[in-house]
Amino acid sequence: MGKIKLDLKDKRILNELDRNPNVSLSHLAKKVVISSQVAEYRLKRLLSQKTIWGFFTLIDPGRLGYNLFRVHLKLKSVSEEIYTSFADELLKNYPTFWVAFVSGQFDIITDIWSINSNEFNLLFNRILEKNKEIINDYEIIPILEINLYEYGYFLKERVDRNKTTLFKNLKNGKIDEKDKKILRVIRGNSRIPFETIGTKVGLTRNAVKYRIKSLEKSGIIAGYKMMVNFVHFDHTTYKIFIKYNNSKIDQEIQLLKYLQNYPGVLSHTKLLGRWNLDIEIEPKNVKELQKFLITIRNKFNIIEDYEFIQIIEDYGIDFYPEKLPA
């Protein structure tokens, strides 16, 4: 596919969906000042050309007592087919949230759910044993929480970006089999109508609506997000891993506030281990990335060390994996 061109109406549509991914077509059309038919046509085009990757329901298994573990994997010299097959296995055969191909010291990053560290150790040892001819080295980092931001740049860069916090282990929610079925249906498409969900799970429209509202109230559904293809905006995604100077830990609040006000930052993740913070950012170019690094390094003495990697490809994401342990 050639270079994608986005006009002002496309950007207005993306801006509204950034703020509210589940906005109705009629309301979207009114906001963008176009007809509902044109809004529907343009939205379908943005989806078909993969400018919009998808509309995701931000399901938070941390509210159900699960813990998330990040694994950095260094692979042996294997073919591209084996490399891709292994990534596919990670995403489909385990309780995996995310898989990506990256540059740098490691080749793959994956985030995997488990009830606790002991259960994760058993699971990961099975992965190692099954793939000992593929995996060369690895690093495991427990995730404390992930904070996702609105993009905030489709029309003009804005600093009033909302933040959604995910994956803290709070264990204050409870769901039944009907709830689980609903979450499976909407995890990869938050815009599915209540009637359609009801048909799939055997409930009325009103029963589905009530259950979703209850899941939102409990925080199990933390929110909704449109995800876009950064290539269509000539942006590249990087991760910056930061190690704190713990004697300056009081600066963390100011650092995190700065990140929320910086439109290029997609998320920040609090980690436990060698790195304290993971900043995901998609600058326009390497020069802008370097400028950002110099700025935060000079502005915040809490930053003791850092390194960055490029996200070569997001292989897959699943906010409610089929393989979550019971």
Query: Which CATH number is 258's domain given?
Result: 3.30.70.3460
Interstrand relation of 67-75 and 163-166 (parallel, antiparallel or unpaired): unpaired
Are residues 8 and 70 both part of a single domain? no
| Global pTM value | 0.91
CATH of the domain at 24: 1.10.10
Are residues 194 and 304 both part of a single domain? no
Q: State mean pLDDT over 82-88.
A: 93
Are residues 2 and 132 both part of a single domain? no
Q: Does residue 164 form part of some domain?
A: no
Residue 72: domain span: 62-150+230-317
Residue 107: per-residue pLDDT: 95
Among 218, 240, 272, the domain-final residue is: 218
Q: Does residue 17 form part of some domain?
A: yes
Q: Does residue 109 form part of some domain?
A: yes
Percent of the chain scoring above 90 in pLDDT: 83
Structural domain count, the chain: 3
Q: Does residue 161 form part of some domain?
A: no
- β-partners of residue 100 are 109, 314
Measured between alpha carbons, how far apart are the two ends of the chain, in Å?
Answer: 42
Q: pLDDT of 196-237, one tens digit each?
A: 999 999 999 999 999 999 999 999 999 999 999 888 888 889
Residue 1: per-residue pLDDT: 44
Are residues 31 and 77 both part of a single domain? no
Q: pLDDT of 87-124, one tens digit each?
A: 999 999 999 999 999 998 999 999 999 999 999 999 99
Q: Does residue 43 form part of some domain?
A: yes
Please tell me whether residue 67 adopts helix, strand or coil conformation.
strand
> Could you tell me the CA-to-CA distances from 186 to 83, 106, 222 in Å, in that order?
30, 33, 13
pLDDT at 46 over 70: yes
Inter-helix orientation angle 8-19/25-32, to 10°: 130
**DSSP state string for 269-317:** EEESSS-SEEEEE--SSHHHHHHHHHHHHHH-TTEEEEEEEEEEEEEEE
Among 191, 218, 245, the domain-final residue is: 218
Least confident of 2-6, 70-74, 133-137, 150-154: 2-6
Are residues 10 and 146 both part of a single domain? no
> Mean pLDDT in the chain?
93
